[in-house]
């Protein structure tokens, strides 16, 4: 954990490295991040040295450890201006995965994401946040287990309102959905429960030191494909579940993330093309998959991101003080990170390349904001930044679940409930204008199921208010865009982003 903290403490704004042994984990994160950004085209060691400021010798040592761990691989050769062609390296996306969970008030969406940020598995089901902590945690744990095991069963995982999510309705004590801690820990490494989702969990291999420890896991993963991503309002049925194939024990001597068994062990499946989603294993082509690095959970606030403890979730005061991170981590036996849904979405957008200072405004079952200032997610001292929905804009307005009156969230949801989306967009625009005036942000991004149901309506309504405000101030208008707001994908980045040097995950 100490090395993981150092990544956050010393991460520079630019891709600048330092040649000190105590900061080796920081330098490894820099190199990993550049490999990730390079994609399937890859990047040479010389380019890595130039971009990080590290010596060629330091880069060679780091990339050697990454290759030993199965995190990096050769991607061919590139012509040079003189001398022999340069060997190009790329990240091996399938060398590690994280599960991202979006726990909303009435729905649960999970994704399995590889190191490149590509979704390779997905599940969706209904949930009731008011069913009680025990039942909800059991349901989340059961869905995580089902998602991971879905790949092992050839992608036949069940979706939505299936029996393995019924623990929510069963109430406290619904342990049928609870996967055993020992079973998950056996799959992903017995020490995983005590390790945070930081850089220490990245790599393992011969000669690894503080920045290169890892896990060995043998649970194959696949996508049950239960969600039609091109139409967010429509779920599709999964393919019929096939009989699960039989998998042998891990080959002796295999290392975490090894794409193929070591010499002397029967060969696995054919090598995958760079960046390709691995084909599901079959009884004829078993192979050891990479470790599950952890689970990120995003849900409505307020909450304490650092401790993973919920506060009085708006509308569900019974969750106040519940240690969600520890409770879920104990059930699953893997590291768990917890954050507000809007922060997770903002992190996902920043990792995906959204630059500068922006606000992500999420209107769904509630209203909140994720704030990115100068490229960094800002949570505040108590994870209370971005409680955007509870700014009062009408002193005698309708009561809000938070106990106040006239909150933006209450006004927006009231307008939505009576079908007046134009009014909801106008109110959202007024609140967005307050945020622009307060923080001087460059961009407003809109998301959430209400927005995605009528994107043009909200673009026009919010944009009109911001344009009028800019006209009065004699300033250029702040642009407004709608985005998917993939909160589950952002939740997975709570686990993955620190591996690549982001201190704000």
Which token pair is 402? Answer: 């938070």
- Cα torsion 291, 297, 298, 300 to 10°: value is 180
CA distance 168 to 338: 20
Q: Is 84 exposed, middle or buried (0-12, 13-18, 19+ CB in 10 A)?
A: exposed
Which token pair is 335? Answer: 């590291």
Residues 408-434 have pLDDT tens digits of: 999 999 999 999 999 999 999 999 999
Which token pair is 246? Answer: 């039989």
Q: Is 397 exposed, middle or buried (0-12, 13-18, 19+ CB in 10 A)?
A: middle
Closest listed residue to residue 243, CA positions, set 164, 162, 154:
154
CA distance 142 to 149: 10
- DSSP output for 374-423: TTEEE--TTS-TT-GGG-BS-TT--B-TTS-BSBHHHHHHHHHHTT-HHH
CA distance 489 to 298: 10
Tens place of pLDDT for every residue, the chain, 505 residues?
333 333 233 233 234 443 444 356 889 999 999 999 999 999 999 999 999 999 999 999 999 999 999 999 998 888 766 677 889 999 999 999 999 999 999 999 999 999 999 999 999 999 999 999 999 999 999 999 999 988 666 543 344 444 333 433 333 333 333 334 444 444 444 333 233 333 333 333 333 333 322 222 223 333 332 332 222 333 333 333 333 333 233 333 333 332 322 222 223 333 344 444 444 444 333 334 447 999 999 999 999 999 999 998 878 989 999 999 999 999 999 999 999 999 999 999 999 999 999 999 999 999 999 999 999 999 998 888 878 999 999 999 999 988 899 999 999 999 999 999 999 999 999 999 999 999 999 999 999 999 999 999 999 999 999 999 999 999 999 999 999 879 999 999 999 999 999 888 7
């Amino acid at each position: 954990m100490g090395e993981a903290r150092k990544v956050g403490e010393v991460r520079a704004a630019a891709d600048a490295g330092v040649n000190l042994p105590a900061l080796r984990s920081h330098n490894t994160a820099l190199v990993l991040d550049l490999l990730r950004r390079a994609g399937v085209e890859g990047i040479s060691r010389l380019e890595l040295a130039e971009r990080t400021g590290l010596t060629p010798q330091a880069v060679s040592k780091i990339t050697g450890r990454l290759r030993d761990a199965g995190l990096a691989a050769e991607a061919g050769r590139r012509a040079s201006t003189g001398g022999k062609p340069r060997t190009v390296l790329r990240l091996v996306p399938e060398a590690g995965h994280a599960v991202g969970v979006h726990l909303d008030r009435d729905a649960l969406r999970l994704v399995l994401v590889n190191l490149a940020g590509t979704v390779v598995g997905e599940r969706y089901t209904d949930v009731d946040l008011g069913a009680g902590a025990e039942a909800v945690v059991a349901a989340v744990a059961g869905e995580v287990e089902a998602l991971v095991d879905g790949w092992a069963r050839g992608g036949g995982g069940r979706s939505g309102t299936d029996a393995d999510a019924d623990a929510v309705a069963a109430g406290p004590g619904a342990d049928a959905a609870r996967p055993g801690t020992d079973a998950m820990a056996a799959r992903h490494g017995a020490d995983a429960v005590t390790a945070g989702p930081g850089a220490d969990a990245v790599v393992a291999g011969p000669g690894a030191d503080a920045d290169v420890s890892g896990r060995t896991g043998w649970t194959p993963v696949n996508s049950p494909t239960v969600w039609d991503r091109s139409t967010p309002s429509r779920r599709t049925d999964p393919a019929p579940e096939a009989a699960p194939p039989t998998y042998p024990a891990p080959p002796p001597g295999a290392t975490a993330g090894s794409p193929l068994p070591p010499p002397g062990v029967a060969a696995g499946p054919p090598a995958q093309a760079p960046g390709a989603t691995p084909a599901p294993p079959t009884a004829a082509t078993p192979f050891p998959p990479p470790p599950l690095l952890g689970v990120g959970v995003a849900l409505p606030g307020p909450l304490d991101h650092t401790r993973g403890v919920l506060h009085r979730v708006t509308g569900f005061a019974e969750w106040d003080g519940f240690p969600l991170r520890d409770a879920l981590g104990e059930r699953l036996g893997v590291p768990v990170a917890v954050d507000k849904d809007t922060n997770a979405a903002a992190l996902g957008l920043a990792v995906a390349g959204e630059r500068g200072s922006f606000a992500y405004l999420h209107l769904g079952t509630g209203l909140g904001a994720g704030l990115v200032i100068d490229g960094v997610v800002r949570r505040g001292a108590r994870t209370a930044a971005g409680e955007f929905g509870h700014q009062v804009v009408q002193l005698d307005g309708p009561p809000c679940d938070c106990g106040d009156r006239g909150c933006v969230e209450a006004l927006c949801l009231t307008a939505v409930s009576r079908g007046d989306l134009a009014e909801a967009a106008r109110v959202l625009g007024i609140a967005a204008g307050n945020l622009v005036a307060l923080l001087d942000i460059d961009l407003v991004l809109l998301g959430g199921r209400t927005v995605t149901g009528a994107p043009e309506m909200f673009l026009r309504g919010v944009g009109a208010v911001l344009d009028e405000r800019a006209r009065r101030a004699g300033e250029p208008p702040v642009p407004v865009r709608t985005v998917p707001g993939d909160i589950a994908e952002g939740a997975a980045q709570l686990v993955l982003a620190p591996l690549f040097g982001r201190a704000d995950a």
